[in-house]
Structures are given as C-alpha cells and as structure tokens.
Chain A
Amino acid sequence: MPPIIETEGATKWFAQKVPQSGFTGRLRNFLKPVTRDVKAVDGISFAIEAGEAVGYLGPNGAGKSTMIKMLTGVLVPTAGSVRVLGRVPHEERIVNARDIGVVFGQRSQLWWDLPLFESFELHRRIYRIEKGRFDRARAELVDMLQIAPFLERPVRQLSLGQRMRGEIAMTLLHDPKILFLDEPTIGLDVVAKDVVRKLISRVNRERGTTIMLTTHDLRDIEEICPRLIMVDDGKLLFDGPLTNLNASFGARRKLTLEFASEPATVMLAGAEPAGGEGVIRTFLMSDDRRSLVDIIAALKSDAELVDVHLHEPDIEEVIRTYYQSRQRQAAPSKRTG
C-alpha cells in the first residue's frame, strides 16, 4: 500500500521584502519592492503509513506550520512534491479537505458566539455528513472526549482546554483518515495538556486515524508519537523512532558511582571517565544497550561501591544540547561573514 502522506524534496520559499531606507528607497519599495527568498521548508522528504502517529518537531520558525499548510492544500510548494492520500493537496484542495481533519492550536474553527453543538451542526453541513452517521459519530465523540457538560454552552465561555477538546471532537465528526494538529497543546495548562495528549493518542489507537502533529513541546511527542521527524531551519534533521534519537544525536547515559572511600583506581570497560571527586566518579556510557548489571559486573576498583545512579538523557536534553551546539557553530560564521 502506498504511503498515506509522502513528500519528495518538498520546498517552500517565501518572498520577503527587503526594506529600503531614504525617500527614493521607500518609493522603490512601493513601486518595485526588492525581495529576497527565505526557505521555510528546504527539500524535505518523508513517507507516513496509514495508522502512524508522527510528531513533527522543531523550534519556532523551523517550517513546521508551512509543511502542514502544504499538506493540507493551503500553500503551493515552490519545488518538490507533496502527496496526501495519493492527491496533490493544493490541486484538489476541496476533495482532500473532505478526507482530512486539521486542528490549529492557536486558531479556533468553532463559532465563537454560539453553543458548541451549533458548530458541530455546521460541520455536518460543510462535510455533507449523512444525519444517521453524524448522530452516531457525535454520540461516540461526545463520550470519548467528555464534552457533554459544555456542549450547549457558547464557545466564548469555554476554557482553552474545553475548547480544544471541542475542536478535536468536531474535526473527527467526518471520520477523517488523517488528523493534522498544529501545536494542539499550546497555551494549555498542565492538566489540560495531559487530557488532550491522552485523547489524541486514543484517537490514533482506537480509531486508527493517522496523526501528524507539530509541536515544540517534546512531551506531546513522547506521549503520542512513536515516530519523530525533527526539523530545523527548514531542513530534516532526524526521522525515525523516538527511541533511536539518543543514538543518532550521540547522547549518552551517565553513570555516577559512589564509593565508601576515595578510590585510587576505577576501571569501567566501555565507559569514558567524565569527572568526579572524592568518593564520587562519573562515566559516560558508550553502549546504550548494556544493562546496569553488566556494567557494574565489569567494574574494577580498589574501593567498595556503595551507590550507583544511572542517568538516562531525556529527549528534551538531547535536543536542547543539539540546538545549542548548532547555535554555537553558527555564531562564529555570522561574525566572520
């Protein structure tokens, strides 16, 4: 079966005006503006199979929303190809829209002044959902997302978390094959974030809906998406299972050993000493698959071991370290260039 979403060298350039100073500059700006191309998405290729849940991660300005907009037919790619359900989204925008659902974390699609159920009814008419099918889907989603208590309340009176649950329920009414979520947990409090993450994950598991979500919150990905696509500066950095991320980015586990007295020698096979003083010694592990028992069994020391602490790098740390190293690399070239 062909992938449900496929991009091949997808590229999107935006023409950005270059401001001109002075009177003639301003006049030229008005008559014939000088523009420069900014690459928001730069030759990105990936394929997503039906039923997958994929997180699309990157810092602000990395081109995440631009990719979602190309996949939903809002934007036309400058180069490369984008296919969703076998179609070119911008060429068949309306047909494509019937098979997908899109939730924008920062923009509501609900009717602000009317009760939530009125937006659902409008959705039924927009997507031409047959009444019986709509009633069944609505009952199921109201139950699943627990929105019955505020279904009849005007949207403007709902909390952000309630509104997001309403948005997700509405977007699923026409049973889309793919659900795109653009920053679905942005602005939510910790509890609401947790509720929304669990719901999205359930939608993927129980309904088999393919999920693609953009975020800069790693917890969204940890809890929803087994697969991660990471981008920065418009380019693809990583595409694979979340569990492979540490190895790909060279992140290593840190082992801290505490001895009864200060050891003269400490030898640990397959580990690199990383400091420590007094009774404490720290090592960086080169092989991520070794068990703690094996590691400790290989320890050679003249002092008695009293405590062991193994620190697993979390993905946030891995990615933060990576971005910081990128910024450090970029900084000197900016100064000299």
Chain B
Amino acid sequence: MQTLSLYLYLVRLQLRTRLQYRANLLIGWVAQAFGYASVYGTIWIIASRFERLGGWVWPEIALMLGFHVLGYALGALFTFVQLRGMEELVRLGTYDTLMVRPVSPWAFLAFSGINIEYGGHIALGVGMIAWALPQLGIDWSVLTVAQLVASLISAALLTGATLTIIAAMALVLTRSRYLFGIYFDFWELSRYPLTIFALPLQLTLLSIVPLGYMAYVPVAALLGKPVPLIGAAAPFAAILAGPVMVVVAMLVWQACQRRYQGAGG
C-alpha cells in the first residue's frame, strides 16, 4: 500500500513538473500529430489505391494502426522516455543515486518519468479504433470484448518489457541507444499486416523480435483472419506475448543489474 502511494506521489510530482512547461507539451503533441498523420495518410493512400494490403482493407488496417499506437503508448508511457536515456543515467552516475535508495530503480524511473506527451497517441489510438470497429461487423460477445482488452494490455506489456530489456543492456554495456534505433525499425514494420512480408521477416517478428504481437496478431485474431505460422493459436499468443516478455524482461534486468559496473570510480 505504501509502495503504491509512493508511486502515485511520483506520478503527481512528475505531472506538476511537466505542467510547468505547458507550451513544450503542446508543441510536442502537435509535432507528434503531424508525424503520425503523414505516416497513416501514406498507408491510407496505398490501401485505397490497391484496395487491399496483404489481404487487409482500409478499416481493418485503421483498426490495426489504432491498436498499435494505443498499445505502444500505454506501454511507452511508463518506459520509453525514462529508459531511452539509460546510458546517460549510467554514465553520469544518476543510476547509482537510485540504487542507494530503498526502492526498485526500474519502478522509480517508470513512475517518476511518466510521460503525458503520450496523451496524444492515446487519443489517436482510441479515435481510430472507435472509427474502425463499427465498420467491421464484428460479432461482439463478452469473450471478444475480453479478448480485445486482454490483447491490448498484452501489447502494452510487450512494449514496456521490450524497452526494459534494451535499457538493461546499458547497465552492462553502458550503451543502449543504438538498440532503441533497431527496435523502432522493427516497430515501424509491425504497423503493417505481416502477410506483406517474406517468411524470414514474418518469423523474426513472431519470435526473436516479437513485435508482430503488438497489433497484427491480436487484430487478425479478432477479425478471424488467418495468421501465418501460428494459425489457431493466434488469440492465445496475442494475450500471452506481453506477460511472457515481462518475465523475460525481469530476468534480464536482474541479471544485468548484478553485472552492473557503474561508470568511473
């Protein structure tokens, strides 16, 4: 209970700090909106021109894009900006100051750096899902609603866990920023139906870099579309991918923390 109260207090402090720079926040939101609008516009043009993209029509793709950005934002809210600077935290010794306090350094970073700039992403994701869903004739039941929510949580966990694993590398290698670059290369690919890619890339996105479970697998499972390589296991895989990655991330973080060398000394 005291731990939860601490984390909520950290979030409150961070919000107050961020709101001191309202203009920055607003500019950030507008810049992000333009960025996403241009990418989604391109995908919309391609989908409209060719009618289908990997067997998917525009409303299906829009649902996937909405799911992708919402799942990502919910996970990145607690992780991306905080962990992106992990190598600086290590290099400048800031991480040491977290280690000498009676808290989990990861949790402290996650909650004290909560990034409300993702408010724009969340609004965009919810908006696109709300626009796309009524056009897709999904046979709604308690089970499909539960599947949608659970796979969305799984996508958020998958994002948080993957970014955590990358950041943990900085504890050992003192460098991790380039790995974030590689992550976003795959992240961009995971916005498209996996069926447009060749088999090796499909296999990569469903195993080593499991970003296929961010949006493609859960939305395909919801729409009843065939999923390569995992077939009927798709709905379960979509729900389990996130929690499994969380366990992996915890183990990696602990192992890296034990090998932590600090910087200087």
Chain B contacts of A108 at CB under 8 A?
97
Stretch of B5-13, B129-137, B142-150 contacting A (4+ beta carbons < 8 Å): B5-13
Chain B contacts of A76 at CB under 8 A?
258
Q: When A74-B260, A94-B102, A94-B103 are in contact, do A122 and B9 touch as well, CB less than 8 Å?
A: yes
C-beta contact mask, A91-113 vs B, less than 8 Å → 1, else 0? 00111011010101011110101
Does B248 belong to the interface (CB within 8 Å)?
no
Q: How large is the interface on B (under 10, 10 to 19, 20 to 34, 35 or more residues)?
A: 20 to 34
A14 nearest in chain B by CB position = B261
Chain A contacts of B260 at CB under 8 A?
74-75
Select one of A15, A109, A111, A127 contacting B13, CB under 8 A: A111
Chain B contacts of A64 at CB under 8 A?
265
Measured between C-beta atoms, what is the minimum distance from B19 to chain A in Å?
A: 10
B8 nearest in chain A by CB position = A125
Does B51 belong to the interface (CB within 8 Å)?
no
Does B20 belong to the interface (CB within 8 Å)?
yes
CB pair B13 A122 closer than 8 Å: yes
Does B188 belong to the interface (CB within 8 Å)?
no
CB pair B102 A107 closer than 8 Å: no
Chain B contacts of A74 at CB under 8 A?
96, 99-100, 260, 262
Measured between C-beta atoms, what is the minimum distance from B164 to chain A in Å?
A: 19
Chain B contacts of A47 at CB under 8 A?
none
Measured between C-beta atoms, what is the minimum distance from B49 to chain A in Å?
A: 42
Within 8 A of A (CB), among B52-101: 92-94, 96-97, 99-101
B264 nearest in chain A by CB position = A65
Inter-chain CA distance A122–B13, complex, in Å, is 9
Select one of B9, B13, B16, B265 contacting A66, CB under 8 A: B265
C-beta contact mask, B13-57 vs A, less than 8 Å → 1, else 0? 100110010000000000000000000000000000000000000
Does A118 belong to the interface (CB within 8 Å)?
yes
Query: For the complex, would chain A's binding face be called helix, strand, loop or mixed by DSSP majority?
Result: mixed
Does B141 belong to the interface (CB within 8 Å)?
no
CB pair B100 A73 closer than 8 Å: yes
**How many CB-defined contacts (below 8 Å) exist between A and B?**
72
Does A264 belong to the interface (CB within 8 Å)?
no
Does A72 belong to the interface (CB within 8 Å)?
yes
Does A298 belong to the interface (CB within 8 Å)?
no
Measured between C-beta atoms, what is the minimum distance from B176 to chain A in Å?
A: 15
Chain A contacts of B261 at CB under 8 A?
14-15, 75
Inter-chain CA distance A168–B97, complex, in Å, is 14
Inter-chain CA distance A102–B99, complex, in Å, is 10
Does A114 belong to the interface (CB within 8 Å)?
yes
Does A300 belong to the interface (CB within 8 Å)?
no
A111 nearest in chain B by CB position = B13
Does A297 belong to the interface (CB within 8 Å)?
no
A73 nearest in chain B by CB position = B99
Measured between C-beta atoms, what is the minimum distance from B87 to chain A in Å?
A: 15
CB pair B97 A126 closer than 8 Å: no
CB pair B103 A126 closer than 8 Å: yes
Q: When A75-B260, A104-B97, A114-B17 are in contact, do A125 and B9 touch as well, CB less than 8 Å?
A: yes
Chain A contacts of B6 at CB under 8 A?
125-126
CB pair A107 B99 closer than 8 Å: no
Q: When A65-B264, A66-B265, A107-B93 are in contact, do A72 and B99 touch as well, CB less than 8 Å?
A: yes
Inter-chain CA distance A126–B102, complex, in Å, is 7
Inter-chain CA distance A74–B264, complex, in Å, is 13
CB pair B101 A97 closer than 8 Å: yes
CB pair A118 B13 closer than 8 Å: yes
A125 nearest in chain B by CB position = B6
Q: When A15-B261, A104-B96 are in contact, do A126 and B20 touch as well, CB less than 8 Å?
A: no
Inter-chain CA distance A64–B262, complex, in Å, is 13
Does A177 belong to the interface (CB within 8 Å)?
no
CB pair A102 B17 closer than 8 Å: no
Chain A contacts of B20 at CB under 8 A?
113
Within 8 A of B (CB), among A47-65: 63-65
CB pair A102 B100 closer than 8 Å: yes
Measured between C-beta atoms, what is the minimum distance from B253 to chain A in Å?
A: 14
Chain B contacts of A14 at CB under 8 A?
261, 265
Select one of A40, A97, A128 contacting B2, CB under 8 A: A128
CB pair A107 B96 closer than 8 Å: yes
Inter-chain CA distance A114–B14, complex, in Å, is 10
Task: Please name 10 further chain A to chain B contacts, defined as beta carbons within 8 Å, in addition to the given A75-B262, A128-B2, sorted by A numbering.
Answer: A64-B265, A65-B262, A65-B265, A66-B262, A75-B260, A75-B261, A94-B102, A95-B102, A97-B102, A104-B96
* 21 A-B interface contacts by CB (under 8 A): A14-B261, A15-B261, A40-B265, A65-B262, A69-B262, A69-B265, A73-B99, A74-B99, A74-B100, A75-B261, A75-B262, A76-B258, A94-B102, A100-B100, A107-B96, A111-B13, A113-B17, A118-B13, A125-B9, A126-B102, A127-B102
Report B's interface with A, CB cutoff 8 A. 2, 5-6, 9-10, 13, 16-17, 20, 92-94, 96-97, 99-103, 258, 260-262, 264-265
**Which 9 interchain pairs have the tightest Cβ spacing?**
A66-B265, A97-B102, A102-B100, A65-B265, A74-B99, A113-B17, A94-B102, A125-B6, A72-B100
